[in-house]
Structure 1
Amino acid sequence: MRKVDLLDIWKARKRIASIAQPTSLVYSNDLSDVTGKSVYLKMENWNITNSFKIRGAANKILSLTPMERAKGITTFSTGNFGVSVGYVAKQLDIDAVICISNRVPKAKVDVLRSTGARVEVIGTSQDDAEKYSYQLQREHGFTVIHPFDDPYVIAGYGTMGLELLETLPEVDTVLAGLSGGGMYSGLGVALKQTNPKLYLIGVSTERGAAMYESMQAGKPMEVTENNTLADSLLGGIGLNNQYTFSMVQQYVNDILLVNEQQIAKGMAFMLDKHHQVIEGAAAASIGAILENKATLIGSNVVLIISGNRVDTSVVLDLAKRYSQ
């Protein structure tokens, strides 16, 4: 296992420049009023594939050899990473198979199919999809593009940290959804190797928080997945986790759990105050702040708005429920 360092992230930034553009940092008057802090939103939902996952997917796929590209690639996903893999594969004319469980919402499945990748629906959990992805590797020689536990993917996600430091070097606290830990592993290297005092908070759903349960147990754990508005936060971290478990241990200061009502409140808040449709995983941090669950260190706070893939029916229901 090789260590991911700051140089890897700078190399990733150069490698993915033609595919993943920098995203905006937007000041939130409303969240600043709620917290008494200066709160900014890192708009990863404005990426070409509408999530931060394009950064890791692009860095990994662009690092493959010509022979690996010719044989094809496969990944397992709760939706957003698969969309990003499918998009990059189409740009580079690489055959791709995306393995998902039957918990992935229709909105994400439709977008997955639109990339031109082959979509395989396997089982009821990301773990089921992962097993099938590795079966395809054994049978057909595909390269598995792991959605988080891979040094190239982690380095790609770390490019967000470089952008944050360039735009707001005074950042004190960063919050984002925490699932497999790829984002926070990359952010940890980029941000904490520059400013060790920077405070990182991961936010997970109460329903199936694999990384949180693993941190509590001191080792990677399997969890049962349940339906949630924050479907992007589902999925195990792998019992043979090589990178993200130890990196989250090293870099993340606190992990918060939010319930479905708090996630919904965060989604409705962004719709009402910022006129932005965001998915539950992106709204988890907002829900935590609105419920005063997060200890915000320092004056400048950044929330990673990680993606916006959500069924229209869910958005309409939230708008109706919270406008009354």
Structure 2
Amino acid sequence: MHEHGLSLEAIYQARRRIADEAVRTPLVRSMALSTRFDADIRLKLETCQPTGAFKLRGAANMLAALIEARGREALAAGVVTASTGNHGRAVAYAAARLEVPAVICLSRLVPTNKVAAIEALGAEVRRIGASQDEAFAEVERLVRERGMILIPPFDDPRVVAGQGTIGLELMEDCPDLDRVIVGLSGGGLLGGIGAAVKAIRPACRVTGVSLTRGAAMWESLKAGHPVAVEEVESLADSLGGGIGCDNRCTFALVRKVMDDHVQVSERAIAEAMVELLENEKQLVEGAAAVGLAAMQEHGLDVRGQRVALILSGNAVSLETLDRARVMAGY
């Protein structure tokens, strides 16, 4: 194993497994942001994935790894997960490609546009409770009673390795990267990217960005162990949800690979969403805008640095975009 708990070999294996499912996404230089921050600012466009978000990498890797290890018949009863939306869509997509039944359990906080996208892929959607943790109770029942296979949204090494393939691409496209700024919720994205980047270029700084309210990983890191928090509505709904009080993988990994950690306000997220659309022509959800939000709200000093912002997904409704525009004063 790699010193940070996830081997580089596992991430390379993930890349091989998902080659036909997930795409290698562009890393594009933003002239406007580079000029404004006196730095080389790159945008990693995970919005270009077939499902519109990075989550496809982890879901596809875990499904492929299960089939590799146990055969296709292991998935005969189907797969199940709980999600804030993007992971559910990724599981539904990957399962449909394999002709495997899928049930996606979502809380009432998941926006209707994300629910519709999952249903369009042929998965069964169940709306359960007011948090991802409550939705997970239904997942556990289906695993227990119907023998379905859980595809966790983040807390599994195979899922994290899939997300880590982003880190490989960053290092290949910008080998002298100084800093990567990543949205942080359950820790699968940051943990995977951080493990890959630190293994290849230890000097590269990994910055995590959390919400100011309902940020389970922030509170857990502060407490020194996983804790539960109340989930609240946010423009960055993908960053909601708990990390699981029995977290086995991502809590420890995030602690090891993350160099610094900031929280961003709803207004800062709104302003970043609008700016990315106006100036970069990138339509992104709130969780994808938090890197820019952190740079603007906290005045992060990146002068002279090569910096990558992870634009993690594009599942934003017009209603949410309008709310962001109003909040940002447009």
| Fold agreement, TM-score > 0.5 | yes
Map of 1:181 onto structure 2: 187
Q: How does 1:145-156 map to 2 (within 5 A)?
A: 145-156=151-162
In structure 2, the residue matched to 1:18 is 20
Residue correspondences, number: 324
Quick check: 1:98 aligned with 2:104? yes
Rounded to whole Å, the distance in 1 between the matches of 2:180 and 2:119 is 33
* Distance in 2, Cα, partners of 1:247 & 1:119: 31
The amino acid of 1:140's aligned partner reads R
Q: Which residue of 1 aligns with 2:250?
A: 244
* Residues 256 and 293, structure 1, Cα contact 8 Å, conserved in 2: no
The amino acid that maps onto 1:91 is R
Q: Where in structure 2 are the equivalents of 1:192-271 lying within 5 Å? A: 192-271=198-277
Which runs of structure 1 show a deviation greater than 4 angstroms over 4 or more consecutive aligned residues? 319-324
Q: CA deviation at 1:275?
A: 1.4
Tell me the amino acid that sits aligned with residue 322 of structure 2. Answer: L
Instruction: After TM superposition, give the deviation of residue 189 of structure 1 in Å.
Output: 1.5
AA matched with 1:7: E
Q: Find the aligned partners of 1:294 and 1:267 in 2 and give their Cα distance.
A: 18
Superposition deviation, residue 295 in structure 1: 4.3
Q: Residue 71 of structure 1 aligns to a residue in which SS?
A: coil
Indicate if the aligned counterparts of 2:132 and 2:241 stay in contact, CA closer than 8 A. yes
Asked if structure 2 preserves the Cα contact closer than 8 Å seen for 1:74 and 1:143, the reply is: yes
Partner of 1:66: 72
SS in 1 for 2:197: helix
Quote the sequence identity (%): 44
User: In the aligned structure 2, how far is the partner of 1:319 from the partner of 1:232?
Assistant: 19
For residue 112 of structure 1, the aligned residue among 108, 118, 121 is 118
Give the letter aligned to residue 12 of structure 1.
A
Contact 2:109 2:130 in 1 (8 A): yes
The answer to whether residue 305 in structure 2 is matched with residue 299 in structure 1 is yes
Task: Please say if 1:34 is aligned against 2:36.
Answer: yes
- The alpha-carbon deviation at position 32 of structure 1 amounts to 1.1
Q: 1:292 Cα shift?
A: 3.5
Q: Give secondary structure in 1 for the equivalent of 2:181.
A: strand
Long gaps (5+) in structure 1: none
Change (3 A) 1:321 1:261: closer
Give the deviation of 1:198 after TM superposition: 1.0
Q: CA deviation at 1:298?
A: 5.9
Displacement after TM superposition at 1:321 (Å): 6.3
**1:134/1:261 CA distance change after superposition, 3 Å:** same
Q: Distance in 1 between matches of 2:286 and 2:147?
A: 35
Assess if the C-alpha contact under 8 Å between 2:264 and 2:297 holds in 1: no
Aligned twin of 1:4 = 6
1:142 aligned onto 2:148: yes
Q: Residues 295 and 211 from structure 1, CA distance in 2 versus in 1: closer, same or farther, beyond 3 angstroms?
A: farther
AA in 1 matched with 2:32 = D
Q: How many Å separate the matches in 1 of 2:301 and 2:113?
A: 34
Q: Following the alignment from structure 2 to structure 1, what is the Cα–Cα distance between the partners of residues 285 and 302?
A: 23
2:222 match: secondary structure: helix
Verify the 8 A CA contact 1:172 1:298 in the aligned structure 2.
no
Alpha-carbon distance in structure 2 between the residues aligned to 1:105 and 1:44: 20
- Distance, in Å, in 1 between the alignment partners of 2:47 and 2:306 is 21
| CA distance, structure 1, for counterparts of residue 144 and residue 210 of structure 2 | 33
Give the aligned residue type for 2:272: G
Aligned counterpart, 1:191 = 197
CA 262–223 in structure 1, closer or farther in 2 if over 3 Å, else same: same
* Partner Cα separation in structure 2 for residue 24 and residue 209 of structure 1: 29
Going from structure 1 to structure 2, the CA distance change for 1:297 and 1:173 (only over 3 Å counts) comes to farther
Contact 2:154 2:250 in 1 (8 A): yes
Q: TM-score, normalised by structure 1?
A: 0.97
Tell me the SS of whatever aligns to 1:97: strand
Using a 3 Å threshold, how does the CA distance of structure 1 residues 56 and 124 change in structure 2: closer, same or farther?
same
Distance 1:318 1:234, change over 3 A: closer
- Distance in 2 between the 1:297 and 1:5 partners? 32
Please state how far the C-alpha of 1:107 moved relative to its aligned partner. Answer: 1.0
By how many angstroms is 1:318 displaced? Answer: 3.7
Unaligned runs of 5+ in 2: none
